Amino acid sequence: MTLSRTDFIAQVEQLFANQGQAQYGEDISQTQHALQCATLAQRSGCSESLIVAALLHDIGHLYESPEASAAHDLRHEEQAANLLRNVLPESVWQPIRLHVAAKRYFCAVDPAYHADLSSASRDSLALQGGPFDPSAANAFLRAPFAKDALTLRRLDDLGKDPHMQTPPLSHFYPLIENLLVAHEQAA
């Protein structure tokens, strides 16, 4: 994807407008989930990169058909990372790429975390390979951006409240713009 900054933001806006009302698997839409995660990240004082990662972490789902994703792990996290790596810094797409692995890590090391997963998260965990074994859990912790991925995972878990009020998608455009510029300047 080689888009201008304006084109990228327009594409994100269109993607959420066209596909974002699809149910997330909880009692909220994909758009509500994305906005809740980003809002929680912003309220928690996370970096701009992590706020944008929270907003876009499930963007790969917006390219899937709901029927396909219910029966198979389509690796939405890899799809999102592949879409974003050419336009946003690694500090955005790496935590996104690792947020499913973070769930598998938490399930391996914290039985209470696993027990508290929603039924939709338990179903997707089974499709994603289940909890890590001890070796995979240790390897995950050594990965660059693992700490941010763990934070993103916690935000993902919290962003499922059907009553939470959030700012609109456009509220986050300046943050996306800043990161698009930073990525362009670093390239």
Give the mean model confidence (pLDDT) for residues 75-94.
Answer: 91
What's the rounded Cα separation, in Å, for the pair 92 and 55? 10
Instruction: Report the Cα–Cα distance between both ends of the chain, in Å, rounded.
Output: 14
Bridge partners, 29 (sequence order): 23
| DSSP state letter for 32 | H
* Higher pLDDT pick, 53 / 71: 53
Q: pLDDT band at 74, cuts 50/70/90?
A: low
Show the domains of the chain with their CATH numbers.
5-186 (1.10.3210.10)
**Cβ neighbours of 178 (radius 10 Å):** 14
Q: What is the pLDDT of residue 64?
A: 65
Closest CA to 12 of 170, 149, 167, 155: 170
Residue type, 28: I
Percentage above 70 pLDDT, the chain: 90
* Mean pLDDT comparison of 21-25, 66-70, 125-129, highest-scoring range: 125-129
- Per-residue pLDDT averaged across 76-92, rounded? 92
Mean pLDDT of the chain: 89
Task: Tell me the CA distances in angstroms from 29 to 6, 36, 121, 135, one per residue in order.
Answer: 25, 11, 15, 35
Q: Which amino acid is at 178?
A: N
4 band by pLDDT with thresholds 50, 70 and 90:
low
Instruction: Provide the percentage of residues in the chain whose pLDDT is more than 90.
Output: 68
Q: Cα dist. 46→38, 103, 149, 151, 154 in Å?
A: 9, 19, 12, 9, 12
* Helix, coil or strand: residue 25: coil
Structure tokens at 136: 């995979």
pLDDT of residue 72: 44
